[in-house]
């Protein structure tokens, strides 16, 4: 972190201090997890649904924290700063640290592919200079400030993933980040329960542009609900991207998908032949999005080409698990919504051999959840998937409407059936996907242990 002096922190959070011997002491890190205390850190006691950081304040000091930030005075002589709301204080300190940084910030959101685009953008920008980027999925109103607090004076670029499960969350995080450019990767039916409708999702994601600087660049996907934002972005510089629409500023042509993907990338600064070691049309779209973000803060085409060539698939997101020369499982078990499930089916349809879709439920789809599962079944049928295996409640509909489905009440039963298919079909590609709650990776581990 960019170091701060305690006195500065007291001013930033407008707090009242108690038992602090030396206000000139330097804070090198901010911690919110009492199990991860480092020397000379500041412990912020957050209050969550399941935990209350105040219960660990004393323990944090004993473990080496210099000061704790709390909502109410702790009845002890530990060094503490009392504020109205520790959640707000976390954001205030993060924003201050961000303002000290001279890095160029880019932010991105979307229903699917945020982490994928974030990783690709970071891989490109690492070719240009020191780059901070969101770790894992730290993309909510706690994760984003914690990411900003990891900034160092050396960072020249920062790539920040913004996620939301309620209206206003991205408006808050984007104002902390103040990105030079902001991108919406796509809109799909995800977290419908939190947003009500596709329109609600679009509104929530659109909040990302509220944090843009006056000379900022808004980057939008022409293939996904772009009209809504185009209307609202009249006074901003807007860049567009699309997989194949040549009216977009960034698009691809000459796409060839084998075990890796090659295509010509068209950008306002020229064209480049790209080799991407990932599969799936959606990853081409993600790579184009990442190129636009990176070029918006100065990456050259050579850096884009090198960065994309070095991209790696992220575990659980179309991650190849090879069983032998001719049998492969695509582990896409990290999560699922209607958009990403459809993308996955289209990938499976291009794969060799007997193609098996293994699905768990898609969660958080609200009152129309059944009909979305039915649609996915119909898509599997249309894409001529050879066999669908489902576990869960709603996913039975995917099996049913695919016309080639087998539904199982639990994973062990499904595994038995899949092992039988693996024995029957020497060339086979299996794609495993479901929402986080479906934990479909358990099924892959089970197959691997039994094969
Ligand atoms: P989360 O909301 O959990 O943070 P995310 O938006 O970061 O998700 P990823 O983790 O990159 O997305 O990918 C999640 C799933 O979406 C993966 O299963 C992946 O196959 C699929 N996916 C990735 N990119 C796209 C895309 N552009 N369109 C549709 N599906 C995609
Ligand atoms: Mg993510």
For the Cβ of 34 lying below 6 angstroms from any atom of ligand 1, the answer is: no
For the Cβ of 112 lying below 6 angstroms from any atom of ligand 1, the answer is: yes
* d(CA 394, ligand 2 centre) in Å: 24
Sheet strands (E) in 307-420: 319-324, 327-332, 354-359, 387-391, 405-408
* d(CA 48, ligand 2 centre) in Å: 21
Q: Which residue has the tokens 């991207």?
A: 241
pLDDT of residue 191: 64
Q: What are phi and psi of 194, to 5 degrees?
A: -80, -30
| CB atoms closer than 10 angstroms to residue 156 | 16
Calpha distance 151→131 (Å, rounded): 9
pLDDT of residue 182: 97
Calpha distance 303→281 (Å, rounded): 22
For the Cβ of 339 lying below 6 angstroms from any atom of ligand 1, the answer is: yes
Q: Mean per-residue pLDDT for 175-198?
A: 84
Calpha distance 239→222 (Å, rounded): 10
Q: Which atom of ligand 1 is nearest to the CA of 286?
A: 27
pLDDT digits (tens, 9 = 90+) for 348-401: 998 889 999 999 999 989 999 999 999 999 999 999 999 999 999 999 999 999
- Binned at pLDDT 50, 70 and 90, residue 180 comes out as very high
pLDDT at 265 over 70: yes
Which residue of 340, 345, 359 sits with most ligand 1 atoms within 8 Å of its CB, as the best mutation to test the pocket?
340
| CB atoms closer than 10 angstroms to residue 76 | 12
For the Cβ of 191 lying below 6 angstroms from any atom of ligand 1, the answer is: no
Which residue of 243, 250, 335 sits with most ligand 1 atoms within 8 Å of its CB, as the best mutation to test the pocket?
335
- Binned at pLDDT 50, 70 and 90, residue 324 comes out as very high
- Name the 3-class secondary structure at 368: helix
Lowest mean pLDDT among 14-18, 229-233, 262-266: 229-233
Per mean pLDDT, which of 1-5, 10-14, 198-202, 318-322 is the most reliable?
10-14
Q: Which atom of ligand 1 is nearest to the CA of 137?
A: 4
pLDDT at 192 over 70: no
Check: CB of residue 325 under 8 Å from CB of residue 403: no
Ligand 1 atom 27 nearest Cα: 282
pLDDT at 441 over 90: yes
pLDDT at 225 over 80: no
- In Å, what is the CA distance from 5 to each residue of 2, 25, 82? 10, 6, 17
Check: CB of residue 22 under 8 Å from CB of residue 33: no
Lowest mean pLDDT among 70-84, 312-326, 354-368, 423-437: 312-326
Question: Between these two residues, 89 and 260, which has the higher pLDDT value?
Answer: 89
pLDDT at 2 over 70: yes
pLDDT digits (tens, 9 = 90+) for 131-148: 999 998 899 999 999 999
Calpha distance 234→229 (Å, rounded): 9
ipTM: 0.98
pLDDT at 189 over 70: no
Q: Which atom of ligand 1 is nearest to the CA of 119?
A: 11
Q: Mean per-residue pLDDT for 208-215?
A: 90
pLDDT of residue 9: 96
Check: CB of residue 292 under 8 Å from CB of residue 125: no
Q: Mean per-residue pLDDT for 218-245?
A: 87
pLDDT digits (tens, 9 = 90+) for 327-342: 999 999 999 999 889 9
The DSSP 8-state label assigned to residue 220 in this structure reads E
pLDDT at 227 over 80: no
- In Å, what is the CA distance from 115 to each residue of 18, 110, 131, 136, 271? 41, 10, 15, 7, 25
Ligand 1 atom 19 nearest Cα: 317
């Amino acid at each position: 972190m960019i170091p701060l002096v305690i006195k500065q922190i007291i001013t930033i959070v407008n707090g009242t201090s108690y038992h602090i011997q030396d206000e000139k002491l330097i804070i090198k890190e901010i911690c919110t997890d009492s199990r991860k205390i480092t020397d000379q850190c500041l412990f912020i006691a957050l209050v969550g649904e399941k935990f209350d950081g105040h219960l660990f304040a004393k323990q944090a000091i004993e473990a080496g924290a210099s000061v704790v930030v709390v909502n109410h005075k702790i009845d002890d002589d530990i060094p503490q700063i009392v504020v109205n709301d520790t959640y707000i204080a976390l954001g205030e300190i993060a924003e201050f640290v961000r303002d000290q940084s001279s890095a160029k910030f880019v932010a991105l959101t979307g229903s699917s592919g945020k982490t994928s685009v974030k990783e690709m953008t970071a891989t490109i920008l690492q070719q240009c200079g020191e780059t901070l980027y969101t770790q894992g999925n730290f993309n909510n109103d706690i994760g984003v400030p914690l990411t900003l607090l990891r900034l160092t004076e050396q960072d020249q670029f920062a790539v920040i993933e913004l996620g939301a499960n309620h209206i206003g969350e991205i408006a808050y995080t984007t104002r902390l980040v103040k990105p030079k450019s902001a991108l919406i990767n796509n809109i799909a039916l995800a977290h419908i329960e939190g947003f009500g409708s596709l329109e609600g999702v679009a509104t929530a994601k659109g909040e990302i542009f509220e944090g843009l600087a006056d000379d900022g660049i808004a980057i939008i996907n022409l293939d996904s609900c772009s009209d809504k934002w185009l209307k609202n972005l009249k006074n901003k510089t807007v860049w567009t991207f699309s997989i194949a629409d040549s009216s977009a500023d960034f698009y691809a042509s000459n796409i060839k998908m084998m075990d890796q993907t090659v295509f010509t990338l068209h950008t306002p600064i020229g064209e480049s032949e790209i080799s991407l070691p990932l599969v799936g049309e959606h990853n081409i779209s993600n790579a184009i999005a990442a190129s636009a973000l990176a070029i918006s803060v100065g990456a050259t085409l050579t850096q884009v080409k090198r960065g994309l060539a070095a991209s790696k698939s992220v575990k659980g997101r179309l991650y190849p698990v090879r069983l032998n020369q001719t049998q492969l499982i695509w582990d896409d078990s990290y999560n699922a919504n209607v958009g990403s499930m459809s993308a996955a089916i289209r990938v499976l349809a291009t794969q060799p051999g007997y193609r098996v879709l293994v699905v768990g439920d898609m969660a958080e789809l609200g009152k129309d959840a059944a009909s979305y599962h039915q649609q996915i079944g119909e898509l599997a049928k249309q894409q001529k998937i050879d066999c669908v295996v489902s576990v869960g409640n709603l996913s039975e509909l995917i099996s049913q409407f695919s016309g080639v489905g087998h539904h199982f009440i639990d994973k062990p039963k499904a595994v038995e059936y899949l092992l039988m298919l693996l024995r029957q079909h020497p060339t086979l590609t299996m794609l495993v996907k479901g929402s986080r709650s479906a934990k479909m990776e358990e099924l892959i581990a089970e197959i691997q242990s039994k094969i």
